[in-house]
Amino acid sequence: MLFNSLHFAVFLPCVVVIYFATPGRWRWMWLLAASYYFYACWKVEYLALIVVSTLVDYVVARCMARAVAGRRTFLLCLSLAVNLGLLFAFKYFNFVNASVRAAFGHFDLTYSVPALDVLLPVGISFYTFQKLSYTIDVYRGKREPEMHLGIFALYVAYFPQLIAGPIERSTSLLPQLRVVQNFDFDRLKTGLVLVLWGFFQKLVIADRMAMVVDHVYTDPQQTGGAVLLIGTYAFAFQIYCDFAGYSNIAIGTAKIMGIDLMQNFRQPYYARSIPEFWRRWHISLSTWFRDYVYIPLGGSRVRKLRLHINLLLVFAVSAIWHGAHWKFLVWGLLHGLYMVFGGLTAGWRHRCAAAVGLDRLPRLQRVLGVVITFNLVCLAWIFFRANSISDAASIVCNIFQMEGLGTVAECLTRPGRLNEVFGLSRTHLVAIAAGLAILELGHLLQMCDRLQLRALAAPTCLRWLAYIILILVIANFGIFQNPRQFIYFQF
Amino acid sequence: MNRLKNPLVCSLVFVVILLAVFRFESAVLDRLVPLDQSVKVNWIYSHAGTFDYAFVGSSAAYAGIDGKALSDTLGGSVINLGLDGTAHPEQYMVLAAFLESNDVGTIILQVDAWGLDENAYGYPFHEYLHLPYLDKPVVAEVVAERRGGRLAAWKYVPFLKYAEFNTQIGVPNIVHVIGGRQPEFDVYGSSLRNQAFNQAGFEALAAADDHHSYAWSTMRAEYFERMLELARNRGIPVIVYLTPEYHGVLQYSPWRHQVVSYYRETVTAAGQTFLSYDNDPLCRDRLNFYNTSHLNRDGAGRFAPLLAHDVLAAVRRD
């Protein structure tokens, strides 16, 4: 069931109304049933997978609480083996198998392990990591094991964030699931505004940008550098609005039911450096890797060489988490290299800035930082979006050759050319421009507390006017035909 | 304002205002969309007059009828109601709606051998083009037949039709009107193409493995028969012609004979005229076509006197 489907438009109000109509102590049952139904809408067979792995972690965590040190480690390893084993079987086996077969083939050796004919269970990477954080927290003694199987199952399968996060921590979500929430009109309004904003990001911007990106990336070898550059910028906004849109719908939906999920994005393209970008992009995953991989490896309290290796390792693992393909690994390692290179050249860059007098112009320095970071991120996005590493390499080459500027200029004067080159009509172009302007207005509002307070204190009629305009923009410019799946559903 | 603090009242007031805004925008678009005369459907529905000859059909009529040449030869006013990528249901709807506000002397229906095949030619029903015209009874009737209960939603939920198809109708039409987009068709409603024969397309068709499967659409056939019935009820003579096809392709249509027989027998049984140009030299020269089933501008120019001759003969006979 997609958030941007009629099915969900009927499902959500039903769930919310029945949720608040149900006596507090039974609500978990209703939410769990709704969450399992939500998941079963994709493929009912995979419900068994989530149920079994939930049971394993529930039992393991309870046994862990009573166990002595050595046995606790064994139980943690058991949980890791089950969770990561399932993830490996469904997500990585075929990739590893194909890679090994290719390597064997290279040396003319026979290799006869067949590929698994399985479909990747939607959301498996997300709920696996959510469960792992719980088991590790219990192992570390950071929290007691959850005794209520139903509440724990709901923690794993809570439908707003089941498919693509935010990856919640047990310390935050589990206690909230235990509290009986009363209906709160203000929370409903806040939640609905977030849902609306999410739909705007997804339907108006992301899905329209997808048209440009799909068109441009279809045949990159034959496409000019300038066109590819615009296509890559479009992808940067597509993936951001797609994923942030999903997160906002998830956070808003949960908020309506009285549950606060963690913020997943904070205007990431305003980051002035790559480390800052990762503090603003997919925050729930970045902090997961920080807490459960980076810090256990020693964090920043290790020697420089070790630190750099750790950084590369964390980004490599994070990349592979995204998808079983070498191109994701290149994407992740590029970010790892940015971090390492950024760390190595920090002093030199400060001296350069001082030498040219940039340190006396902090605003310009900030803008330069944002522009450079955004372009570095876009360079890495090429590997994320391209169909293969060789395609990505040719896109990078073409972009640096910067051919096709004339084609882009032609598109501005000839609408027919705009359609040929970018797959867009003039209406789409108008919608994209208007959409990006509203998006930036939203960002401004989110970044400036003073503006936010003024907006909240604005008369009801003004706030309603803003909501109605947003709804009208979605109704007029959102893409409703053949709804597209959210990009992160594939992970 | 104090009453707005009550959640229920507040929500109700907001929803009512929102619906009113949608209702208003819907009404505005209902008026603005038909102004976009670059859309053939809007152009057709905007007519109210008298025509001696009305041509109805799919892309083969849209691109293959030389309105000027036919008007000159036939000695009467001609309008081409042919619509790209349409099957008989949509053609019936447009013809019936057109006849509500226009007088037509003779209806000339273009048919082709693949028009009843649901396998190879999906011919999506372009309901979105007709949604601003749901107040026309025949449009509402056919849309309901094709799309069922969704008609009620489009009709009674304000703005839903424009939201659902917003990449095709609504704002795009306004942009076209403001931008002054010119129609692709001429004053007769035809869009003649100056294209050479698509040899690669022909070769691909010849190389295709499966030339035999034909999913006969009873529904499309029913709408064809309804067109004949509509004309009979209004006392308008109908001439049905089989669109000229490049003869080289006929061998790959083993089902063709059966389809043509259906059309010929149905038309003859209705007491109307059926015309075919399969054996005419026109179909032997690929220079007359831009693909195997569509005449180009030169071909349409050569076809016009042939068709006019037969049409005049049929009209005189009647």
The secondary structure of A168-185 as a DSSP string is: --HHHHHHHHHS-PPP-H
How many Cβ pairs closer than 8 A exist between chain A and B?
49
Question: What would the two tokens of residue B69 be?
Answer: 């040449």
- Position A71 pLDDT exceeds 90: no
| Nearest CB neighbour to B7, from listed A185, A476, A480 | A185
ipTM of model: 0.79
- Tokens 């394993």, residue located: A56
Query: What is the share, in percent, of chain A residues with pLDDT greater than 70?
Result: 100
**CA-based nearest distance B18→chain A, Å:** 7
Task: Tell whether the model's pLDDT for residue B3 goes beyond 70.
Answer: no
A428, A422 in Cβ contact below 8 A? no
pLDDT at B45: 94
Residue A325 known to be catalytic: no
Tell if the CB–CB gap between B18 and A468 is shorter than 8 Å: yes
**Bigger pLDDT: B42 vs B180:** B42
> pLDDT value at position B130?
93
CB spacing of A475 vs B21 below 8 angstroms: no
- Res B29: pLDDT: 92
Of B18, B164, B166, the CB nearest to A477: B166
Q: Average pLDDT for residues A74-99, to the nearest whole number?
A: 90
Searching chain B, which residue's CA lies closest to the CA of residue A5?
A: B164
CA dihedral of A72, A74, A80, A81, whole degrees rounded to 10: -160
pLDDT at position B120 is: 67
The two tokens of residue A394 are 């040719």
Among A428, A431, A480, beta carbon nearest to B163: A480
Per-residue pLDDT at B235: 92
Count of alpha carbons within 13 angstroms of residue A327, beta-carbon side = 15
- Are A427 and B18 a contacting pair at CB < 8 A? no
Cα–Cα dist A170/A142, whole Å: 10
Question: Which structure tokens are listed for A253?
Answer: 């939906």
Q: Are B291 and B202 in contact (CB under 8 A)?
A: yes
Please tell me the least confidently modeled range out of A201-215, B194-208, B275-289, B301-315. Answer: B194-208
Question: Among A443-447, B144-148, B184-188, B207-211, where is mean pLDDT lowest?
Answer: B207-211
**Per the structure block, which two tokens stand in for A323?**
């998808």
- Taking CA–CA distances from B172, the nearest residue in chain A reads A427
Query: Which of the 8 DSSP states describes residue A268?
Result: G
- Chain centre distance of CA B5: 54
DSSP assignments along A125-153, one per residue: HHHHHHHHHHHHHHHHTSSPPP--HHHHH
Give Cβ neighbours of residue B242 (< 8 Å, ≥ 6 apart): B111, B112, B113, B260, B263, B274, B275, B276, B277, B278
Give B103's strand partners: B50
Give the per-residue pLDDT at B136: 92
Q: Could you report the per-residue pLDDT of A465-476, keeping only the tens digit for each?
A: 999 999 999 999
Average pLDDT, chain A: 89
pTM of the model: 0.85
Q: What pLDDT does A244 receive? A: 95
In this structure, what DSSP letter does residue A260 have? Answer: P
How distant is the Cα of A476 from the closest Cα of chain B, in angstroms?
6
Question: What would the two tokens of residue A270 be?
Answer: 């305003």
Q: Summarize the confidence of residues A147-172 as an average pLDDT.
A: 91
Q: Residue A273 contacts by C-beta under 8 Å, 6 or more apart in sequence?
A: A342, A369, A373
User: Which residue out of A427, A467, A469 would a mutagenesis test of the B interface target, given it has the greatest number of B Cβ atoms within 10 Å?
Assistant: A427
pLDDT value of position B209? 65
User: Which residues of chain A neighbour B21 with C-beta distances below 8 Å?
Assistant: 468, 472
Work out the percent of chain B whose per-residue pLDDT is above 70.
97
Inter-chain CB proximity A476 and B164 less than 8 Å: no
Strand partners, B109: B56, B240
Question: How near does any CA of chain B get to the CA of A193, in Å?
Answer: 13
Nearest CA in chain B to A468: B18
* A-chain residues near B165 (CB < 8 A): 481
- Residue B1 reports pLDDT greater than 60: no
| Nearest CA-CA partner of A234 in A207, A213, A204, A211 | A213
Report pLDDT for A361. 86
Cα gap B51→A171, rounded to integer Å: 78
A123's tokens: 């959301």
Q: Which residues make beta-bridge pairs with B274?
A: B240
Chain B residues in contact with chain A using a Cβ-Cβ cutoff of 8 Å: 1, 4, 7, 10, 14, 17-18, 21-22, 25, 159, 162-167, 170-172, 175, 179
Residues in chain B within 8 Å Cβ distance of A460:
1, 4
Q: Is the pLDDT of residue A350 over 80?
A: yes
Phi, psi of B141 (to 5 degrees): -65, -50
Averaged confidence pLDDT in chain B: 89
Mean pLDDT of B275-289: 90
Give kind and range of the element (H or E) at residue A411.
Answer: helix A405-413
Q: What's the pLDDT at B137?
A: 92
Contact A276, A247 (CB under 8 A): no
- Over residues A367-395, the mean pLDDT reads 93
* A215, A282, A308, A322: the active-site residue: A322
pLDDT tens string A41-52: 888 888 999 999
Interface test with A, best of B166, B169, B181 (most A CBs within 10 A): B166
Measured from the Cβ of residue A110, the count of other Cβ atoms closer than 10 Å reads: 7
How is B134-159 classified by DSSP, letter by letter?
TTSHHHHHHHHHHHTTHHHHHHHSTT
β-strand pairing of B103-111 with B50-56 = parallel
Chain B touched by A481 (CB under 8 Å):
yes
Q: Is the pLDDT of residue A293 over 80?
A: yes
Q: Closest to A464 (Cβ–Cβ): which among B14, B165, B171?
A: B14
Number of C-beta neighbours around residue B40 at 10 A? 22
pLDDT at A208 over 60: yes
Structure-token match 């769930």, residue found = A15
B261, B113 contact by CB (below 8 A):
no
**Cβ(B227)–Cβ(B109) under 8 Å?**
yes
Pairwise CA distance, residues A77 & A416, whole Å: 60
Of A362-371, A379-388, B117-126, the range with the lowest mean pLDDT is: B117-126
Residues in chain A: 491
Q: Is A460 near chain B, with CB under 8 Å? A: yes
Task: Tell me which residue has tokens 């505005």.
Answer: B28
Question: How many angstroms separate the CA atoms of A30 and B199, rounded?
Answer: 63
Of B17, B18, B166, the CB nearest to A476: B166
